[in-house]
Structure 1
């Protein structure tokens, strides 16, 4: 009897739904840890991309892009903070990250791919 038939323990340790959800949760926890958890999350996404099912790879691509685009948007917000608009935009970037994580968590729980993992928006 394989591990898959034995309660699905194999799917937990291989790149798949649980690992994908972990990265999204790390991104959300990064709001509390000052971004440190998101670094762990993106490293984890890079390590797992290309090792699972096709639907899982769309999530890892989406997560990696969420990290880098979030970083880019945050740097732009810091620069724009000198003219006061950056503070409002930083709030919008946080909402953008949260929405992307929630969208990803919902799709991952249904084991569905992200429709457009390379989008700059949501």
Structure 2
């Protein structure tokens, strides 16, 4: 028996893919629900998603990583457009709608993840 034979694959150090996706959703949710106070958590979730995207290709988790990345970029676009639209006094409404949409997507994706499914495309 060699030194590496006594380590089973189940004894891997670190988080498994399922736990990583939970972490990504959790970081994203903390960043959004803190009204941007912990905005760095959202960035950490997206960076983690990009870093682990290749490792999750072909798994049920790949759809979640893409979901998180798309939610970030589309949400950022709508929030930036809302800031610009606030100059004509409708940006506050569109900004609120954008935040609600982001929260909805995080909740929908996270619930699908807990059920062992991928988030369905669409909203």
Q: Please state which band the TM-score falls in when normalised by the shorter chain.
A: 0.7 to 0.9
Runs of at least 4 residues off by over 6 Å: none
Q: Normalised by the size of structure 1, how large is the TM-score?
A: 0.82
1:51 counterpart residue number: 55
Q: Deviations over 1:36-73 (max 9, x none)?
A: 21111100000111212521011001100111111100
Helix, strand or coil for the counterpart of 1:54? coil
Aligned-residue CA RMSD (Å): 1.9
Q: Distance in 1 between matches of 2:82 and 2:61?
A: 31
Show structure 2 runs of 5+ residues with no match: 1-6
How many residues are matched? 113
In structure 1, runs of 5+ residues without a counterpart are: none
Greater relative CO, 1 or 2 (CA 8 Å, sep 6+): 1
Larger Rg: 2
Q: CA separation in 2, counterparts of 1:81 and 1:47?
A: 34
TM-score, normalized by length of structure 2?
0.82
